Amino acid sequence: MHLAITIDERQPGRWVNGDTIGYVRTGKGNEIDFGPVAVPTAGGTSHTTPLEAKWVTQGWRSKALVTENRFGRGVLATKNVTNFAHPAWAIPAPIVALLLG
C-alpha cells in the first residue's frame, strides 16, 4: 500500500487508474510482488525498484534471487533481516514502509 500511495502522491490518479503497482511473473513462473513502474522525477522519468515481500527470518537469499535473476537488483521486504551485501537487499518490511512514507 505504501508503494502505491507514494507513487500516487508524485503523480495523482495512478492509484485510481490501476497502473501503480503490479506483480511480474518470471519465465519459470515465479512471482515478484511489485515490478518496476515508471515514475516522474525531477530529472525526467525513472523506474521504481522491484520489491518482493516475504515474512522470513532466515533463508531469504533464495527468495531474493528470483528478483535478482529477473531485474538484476531489488528489495526483499522481510520480517527482521537486514542485508545490503547483494544486488537484492533484505530490509525489514516496517523499515521499507517508513522509507516510502
Residue 83: all three cell numbers together = 542485508
pLDDT digits (tens, 9 = 90+) for 35-59: 888 888 889 988 889 999 999 999 9
Place of cell 512514507: 101
User: Domain residues for 15?
Assistant: 2-100
Domain count, the chain: 1
First and final CA of the chain: distance in angstroms?
A: 10
Q: What is the pLDDT of residues 61-76, one digit of tens each?
A: 999 999 999 999 999 9
Helices 93-100 and 2-10: angle between axes, nearest 10 degrees: 10
Give Cα 97 distance to the centre of its chain.
11
The string of pLDDT tens digits covering residues 82-93 is 999 999 999 999
